[in-house]
Chains A and B, each alone.
Chain A
């Protein structure tokens, strides 16, 4: 699964540690998600989406899939 987490985090002026604290995980977990080495659970994905005020599918998307349904990447 791919994601735009790093871009979003930069746009919201947040460090990995700050985002980690907000969603209740360690910085290492956020790092692993950003580098796409680890796919978050659904509850964590919801928490991350809530921090950025977006829907899950706007942040996380399939490897070769479109980011928003109907829009090829």
Chain B
């Protein structure tokens, strides 16, 4: 079969959309990426298990278990973040640039969102006092998810440019 040399004109770069949005990777199937996907599945399964246990026990574990279960998602995500760093270092220069730009955007938007939401939250709490227990930990999880969404969205749109 003859190689297709004219592919540059007709075929855009286009990393697989499903991989980018679902897994946050570029879908190039490198060993580093496959390793990250496997580790991500394991971490995801453990966090899901943690959530199920929390729901089943109505989030009223004994004090020691409470501390362990509260720190479990953070510990698991720390491990995943280290794995993600290894994957990031394995990327070639264009995907790495897209990732870096995504991180920069997520940081800037995150700071902006913190300032706005903090101010709005304070004003709202003056009128309708919120449960301090809820305020203690829910915003952190939501904020983490928000930052990941910003970076994911940037990664997707930036990759369409190339």
Contact = CB atoms under 8 A, between A and B. Distances in A.
Interface of A: 6, 9-10, 13-16, 18, 24-32, 34-35, 37-38, 40-41, 44
A18 B1 CA distance: 14
A40 B93 CA distance: 8
B92 interface: yes
Nearest to B30: A26
B14 interface: yes
B5 A6 contact: yes
Contacts, number: 64
Nearest to A30: B8
B7 interface: yes
Contact of B15 (A14, A15, A28): A28
B92 A24 contact: yes
B36 to A, nearest CB: 15
Consensus secondary structure, chain B interface = loop
B12 to A, nearest CB: 7
19 contacts: A10-B5, A15-B3, A15-B7, A24-B92, A26-B26, A26-B94, A28-B13, A28-B14, A29-B13, A29-B92, A30-B8, A31-B7, A31-B162, A32-B13, A35-B12, A35-B13, A38-B162, A41-B93, A44-B93
B94 A18 contact: no
B115 to A, nearest CB: 34
* Shortest Cβ-Cβ A-B pairs, 7 listed: A28-B13, A25-B92, A32-B162, A10-B5, A34-B8, A15-B3, A29-B94
Chain B contact patch, size range: 20 to 34
Given A28-B13, A41-B93, 18 more contacts: A6-B8, A10-B6, A14-B3, A14-B5, A28-B14, A28-B15, A28-B95, A29-B13, A29-B92, A29-B95, A30-B8, A31-B7, A31-B12, A34-B8, A35-B8, A35-B162, A37-B161, A40-B93
Interface in B26-60: 26, 28
A6 B10 CA distance: 12
Consensus secondary structure, chain A interface = helix
